[in-house]
């Protein structure tokens, strides 16, 4: 079997209708996986399904994962069809920027609920399906999408976002320790600058400067994110767990 062949595997990608989630979903489909994507908006689900169906078997489910109830509903809908879930990508996220003196409590709740709490609740809800899919030689995979802003101090006042991503990185390590004996690996990806709705305004204002500070002198491309998703989901990464992997052109580790 190829180290990067995902034929016969089932994946769930939250926030899979745009940006990094869409890039990852496309990579998993290209490698042969059957992919379920989620988004808050039904129209976004429909548009992404149309786009991704050219690459493989994809199903979209509308779900607002900011609440535990919706995490449970998404897990139940997938579980009603799929006895095994081999790959879970916790990608759905939100950000908020405001000066320190003006940063609202609601921004903490919105961002932490989606970025930090929902990966925990959804992983727990899908745990029976993940555990049933994993083996000692080919574990089930949980991939949490963090950020390089959780690895270093960001330049923008995104207090809740940066703190939630740092928390997600450590939650990744905690779950890796607990779930490893159950044949489930848990790793995090820490993206740098990629073209996405979340990064749109930042890249419009500072994109050339950000690219110039990266050793590879560019912004991330869709294949870069598709590639790390396929690697962490395939047999080639079976002995990696608890890792936080920057995918950022070298920004987090050289500045």
**Residue 73 and residue 125 in contact, taking contact as beta carbons nearer than 8 Å:** no
- The answer to whether residue 161 is catalytic is yes
Torsion of CA 233, 118, 55, 58, to 10 degrees: 120
- The contacts of residue 138 (CB under 8 Å, 6+ apart) are 235, 238
CA angle, residues 116, 121, 124, in degrees to nearest 5: 130
Catalytic residue among 36, 159, 161, 239: 161
Place of tokens 């779900």: 63
For 169, list phi and psi in degrees, rounded to 5: -60, -45
Q: Which residues are catalytic?
A: 161
């Amino acid at each position: 079997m190829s180290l990067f062949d995902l034929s016969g595997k089932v994946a769930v990608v939250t926030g899979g209708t745009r940006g990094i989630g869409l890039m990852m979903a496309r990579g998993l489909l290209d490698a042969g996986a059957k992919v379920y994507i989620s988004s808050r908006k039904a129209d976004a689900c429909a548009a992404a399904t149309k786009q991704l169906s050219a690459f493989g078997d994809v199903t979209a489910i509308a779900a607002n994962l900011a609440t535990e109830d919706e995490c449970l509903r998404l897990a139940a809908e997938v579980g009603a069809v799929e006895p095994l879930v081999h790959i879970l990508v916790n990608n759905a996220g939100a950000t908020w920027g405001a000066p320190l003196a003006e940063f609202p409590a609601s921004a903490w709740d919105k961002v932490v609920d989606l970025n930090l709490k929902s990966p925990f609740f959804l992983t727990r809800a899908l745990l029976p399906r993940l555990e049933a899919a994993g083996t000692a030689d080919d574990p089930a995979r949980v991939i949490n999408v963090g950020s390089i802003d959780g690895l270093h101090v960001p330049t923008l006042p995104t207090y809740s976002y940066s703190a939630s991503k740092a928390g997600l990185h450590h939650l990744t390590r905690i779950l890796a320790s607990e779930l490893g004996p159950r044949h489930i690996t848990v790793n995090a990806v820490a993206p740098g600058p990629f073209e996405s709705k979340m990064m749109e305004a930042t890249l419009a204002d500072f994109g050339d400067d950000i690219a110039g500070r990266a050793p590879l002198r560019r912004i991330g491309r869709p294949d870069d994110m598709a590639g790390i998703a396929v690697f962490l989901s395939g047999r080639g990464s079976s002995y990696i767990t608890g890792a936080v992997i920057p995918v950022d052109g070298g920004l987090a580790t050289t500045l």
